[in-house]
Structure 1
Amino acid sequence: MRILVTGAAGFIGFHVCNRLLIEGYEVIGADNINEYYDVKLKLERLRILEEQRNFRFYKFDLEAAMPLYAIFENHGVDIVINLAAQAGVRYSILNPHAYVQSNITGFLNILEACRDFGVKHLIYASSSSVYGANGKIPFSASDPIDHPISMYAASKKANELMAHTYSHLFNIPTTGLRFFTVYGPWGRPDMAYYSFTRDILKGNKIKVFNHGDMRRDFTYIDDVVEGIIRLIDRAPSPSTDWDPEKPEPNSSYAPYRIYNIGNNQPVQLTHFIEILERLIGQKANIEFLPMQPGDVKETYADISDLQQAVGFSPETPLETGLGHFVEWYKKYHANDNS
Structure 2
Amino acid sequence: MRYRKLAGWLGAWLAGASMAVDATPVHYLVFEMDPAGQVSPVHYARVEMQATADAILAAQSPRAGRRDATLGYRLLQHGQDLGVHTIALPRVRGEFARDPGHDGNIEAARVDDAAPRAFVLRIPVDAADVVEFDNGAGSQSYVLADLAARAATLRLASVPRLPTPQAPNAGASGNRFDVLVLGDGYTAAQQSNFASDAAAMGDAYFGITPHLEYESFVNWTPVFTASAQSGADHPPYQAACNSSSCCSDPDAQDDPRAGQFVNTAFDATFCYGQTHRLLVVDYAKAFAAAASHPEWDEIVVIVNDPVYGGSGGTMSVASMHPSAGELVLHEMGHSFTDLAD
Q: TM-score range with shorter-chain normalisation?
A: under 0.3
TM-score w.r.t. structure 1 length?
0.25
Of Structure 1 and Structure 2, the greater strand share is in 2
TM-score w.r.t. structure 2 length?
0.24
